[in-house]
Amino acid sequence: MGRKEKGFEPLFMKMQDENLPQLVIDHFKHYYDQLVAGQTGNLPETEIEPLETLPEMEELDKDQRVAAGERAMQRTAIIKLNGGLGTGMGMQKAKSLLRVKGGLTFLDIIVRQARALHANPPVIFMNSFSTRTDTHSALAGYTHLAKQPVPLDFLQHKIPKVGALDLGPVHHAENPDLEWCPPGHGDIYPALLSSGMLDSLLKAGYVYAFVSNADNLGAVLDPAILGYFVETGMSFMMEAADRKEMDKKGGHLARLKSGGLVLREIAQTPEKDLEAFQNIRRHKYFNTNNVWVHLPALKKILGRKKGILGLPMIRNRKTLDPKDPDSPPIYQLETAMGAAISVFDKVGAIRVPRTRFIPVKSTNDLLAIRSDHYVLTDRYRLVSNPKRKIGRHVQIRLDPAYYKFIDRFEYRFPCGAPSLLECESLTIDGDVRFGDDVRLKGGVELRNENDGTYDLEPHRSLEGTLRI
């Protein structure tokens, strides 16, 4: 047994003890071997070129594409990535259980969006061990889901964290769960295979899948985009949008100098290239994580590659306990779902408007969506309020000391979100609790420079700076 195998043996035993499928073990070893060989997964600026243009969704022949999409919709499934717990907002349950609009959760809106489509495509969730039970319980009232021709969900895998110093397994006596991590959303491809979901979809006659994050309510199955995907004969397509300042740390699309499209994440970028990575004028398009997959092509390529697509490795250096910066350094070996754009045989990307990317990554985002800035249509589409005359999205920055975690956030907005219909920006520094029917206009800055909570009385209209 060679040196690599000896190094891998303890990790192999750890995964076997967890009864993980052999495909998961093989997949993990593929990236572990790269790590041991000294590979970093980095993609330097010298190996890529900026992408200048993309086909545009808004310039498609809508009538032709919609007709093609409507015909294909009965052979299309919706898959939502639903493994996150929302720990960044202090949640301990599935993030998709969070109430986001009109008392409805992400899960409620996702299911209702799908049911509003004429073909009523199946909705499938890639859950984690942490989100599966909660998700099933929350959706129990939607009895039509039990009649889908395919299961409601499948599980993403887990893999061991790797010690950064010795490249071996790590141990945490008080909380063994901290010894494991998800392998990134690129795990969807082996998880579809090992769970049997891919075969179930193909057996039921599904040819296409639209995949997106559960916390992005702008990601709705669009027949025009589906029609474009079908008629171009692609096996994989990414939706990309124009990068703005807020997106400069997100993965961007580029072209390899050796040929072909590639997705580069910030964790794959050498430190000397970070400035270029974050240059939104140089790298203009970011990955929305809305992707379209031709399922027979996925089955074929997974068969050819023995279940291992070989997506570019992302070596994420973290600490064993994310909340303890002094805990041992570890590597998480991850892959990105959108990185399949460099692996499939016939690939492409399409430029979509910002309306297809409305994620909730923080309570700043949540406040905007809960407010009258957005409305839900009768088809459960989340859209900017047509009464809003200010074109751009409201810029919100809430003091993280008082608003970052959901329980603290809820306490400070007991009557719901203030009106942001005429608000361009909102900045809150300090502890401010909102009364009912508060209306914010233009640029608003609230500063509580005193100890204790300031109760903002109801029925107020605010503009400019208020120092307390």
- Which residue, 198, 225, 399, 165, is CA-closest to 296? 198
Q: What angle do CA 129, 25, 83 make, to 5 degrees?
A: 25
CATH of the domain at 213: 3.90.550.10
Q: Are residues 222 and 348 in the same domain?
A: yes
Q: Are residues 48 and 183 in the same domain?
A: yes
The two three-digit tokens of residue 18, written as one number: 């967890």
Among residues 329, 356, 383, the one where a domain terminates is: 356
- Which residue, 284, 294, 280, is CA-closest to 211? 294
Helix extents (H) in 145-283: 188-194, 197-203, 223-232, 274-277
Q: Are residues 53 and 173 in the same domain?
A: yes
Give the pLDDT confidence of 309-367 residue by residue, as tens digits.
999 999 999 999 988 999 999 999 999 999 999 999 999 999 999 999 999 999 999 99
Among residues 332, 356, 380, the one where a domain terminates is: 356
Could you say which DSSP state residue 30 is in?
Answer: H
* DSSP code string of 136-172: HHHTTT-GGGGGSSS-SEEEPP-EE-EETTTSSB---
Q: Are residues 325 and 388 in the same domain?
A: no
Q: Are residues 280 and 262 in the same domain?
A: yes
Q: Residue written as tokens 């192999």?
A: 12
The two three-digit tokens of residue 298, written as one number: 């996925």
The two three-digit tokens of residue 60, written as one number: 């498609």
Q: Are residues 232 and 195 in the same domain?
A: yes
- What's the chain's average pLDDT? 95
The number of folded domains in the chain is: 2
Q: Are residues 351 and 375 in the same domain?
A: no
Predicted pLDDT at 2: 35
Distance CA 453, CA 399 (A): 13
Distance CA 156, CA 179 (A): 16
CATH of the domain at 369: 2.160.10.10
Predicted pLDDT at 61: 81
How many C-beta atoms lie closer than 10 Å to residue 116's C-beta?
14
Q: Are residues 249 and 282 in the same domain?
A: yes
Q: Are residues 351 and 368 in the same domain?
A: no
The two three-digit tokens of residue 419, written as one number: 């009106």
Distance CA 371, CA 353 (A): 21
Give the pLDDT confidence of 175-199 residue by residue, as tens digits.
999 999 999 999 999 999 999 999 9
- Please give the single-letter amino acid code of residue 173: A
- Please give the single-letter amino acid code of residue 61: D
Mean pLDDT, residues 387-410: 93
Q: Are residues 96 and 190 in the same domain?
A: yes
Sign, CA torsion 187/189/195/197:
positive
Q: What is the pTM of this model?
A: 0.94
Q: Which residues of 41-62 are buried (b: 16+ CB within 10 A; e: fewer)?
A: bbbebeebebbeebeebeebee
Strands 285-294 and 208-213: antiparallel
Domain span at residue 120? 3-356
Q: Are residues 322 and 215 in the same domain?
A: yes
Among residues 356, 372, 388, the one where a domain terminates is: 356
Give the pLDDT confidence of 42-90 residue by residue, as tens digits.
999 999 999 999 999 888 888 889 999 999 999 999 999 999 988 889 9
Q: Are residues 54 and 20 in the same domain?
A: yes
